[in-house]
Structure 1
């Protein structure tokens, strides 16, 4: 089939690579988000998918909005049979959905109908799910509600961050998307409507959502840190400045610390929660690089009884 692939971030690149390597399909063009400012100089940088497509010599389309007339005209000229999508990052209007003869097929990183939305992997970790996966489905105007072609499953490990899990799903899902394209071309694969039961939503995680509540149980603190790593990054406050939490470990033996209370030793830093303590693994002070929590604690010289978390109105400001 002639394909036009839509995707933007690094997590979409394995799927593009799988389609390029399949030998059965022609990737005639790639659709991605416009170049965005990045780095300290805030230079405009092409998306990872755009960079990979340019390396492969594929035409790259970067519409500001996918209903732009110039973009739609070019898409019609290309006349794709199908448009596979992975994390493109923009809603597709019906006028665009109607162009390819066999529609648009999305690779979504959840077991639909669970976790429809922009952040399915993060929400699966935050919820403490033990199993997730990926699904390919026919895009329609509803939010991730179209009929499903195929699924794969993936165990969520106790130490998985969202980044760890998403990386595994990106590579496993790439094979699923390529197989889905094969099945559509052969006529051997037909989408099945999603069940009405079991629907859950996964909206984008805001920075404020990633603030750690130390009155919550330690298990919840652990999930917030893992679920928000690497983005947007779990955080708390210390002496009125933001402290990013890169990793924590549960320490059920320590129960004497009150929520947010710090206890620093030579090689460890513990924080009290609503249940037992957690040990800080790596932290990132504001304006600095990530470092081991014990090194950070030695540098700031934590006083007895000192705490992390909101202490007053000023320190509550993000």
Structure 2
């Protein structure tokens, strides 16, 4: 049975841990709000790019592009977007469970150390490992996107999918697997960037017509790679918002659990201390009665 000294030590240790988890909760909360604001700030740009793509597609006729080439899938590539650090609950576990369903021939592109560790543990083929900051930069997304595009264009993979955590709310992060390459029709992809219905124009641009020089096909050919880069950028932002949300919730739960344990240990300590005092009083009373 632990002594009162042991219980005091445990209470002190758990209080120190609770201070750490509380600080991590506050940091994650601030980062989560920043990540959410970044994702929301990019939506008007995404919507405007959709309008331009739709207008260019309408004027391009039977447009084809190497990134839209559909072929028999002999080998897949998977862009796996995870976190660099842990302490974020089951966020990575749920996503890695989804990605584990891909067959042994899958070629992995990992953004985040946890994904690379997972691939190494399964002894799968890793094409490249990337890291990205708490506030993802477009240059980072462009580098990852171009690498995936090169794999597809060089014929090393016939399809590229992406697995990431989609931010739904502070308490809900949903692991999703979607096809990145080959690109489908632009109108079908239009809602992917904004999460809204295709065809809805911004109030500032509604009713405007676009004139493309030197032509719609040339402009569309230049926009498609940028479109992919922006998709990857949004996936990174979603992943970061999910990470900070999951970590905030995990640290809050850890802090609450620590407080409950401290409460239980304090109660146990007081009971033991009260029992010790009672025993001492009984011994004193017994001694007095024996002497009396």
Instruction: Give the TM-score normalised by the residue count of structure 1.
Output: 0.29
Structure with the largest fraction of helix: 2
Higher-Rg member (1/2): 2
Q: Which structure has more RCO (C-alpha within 8 Å, separation ≥ 6)?
A: 2
Structure with the largest fraction of strand: 1
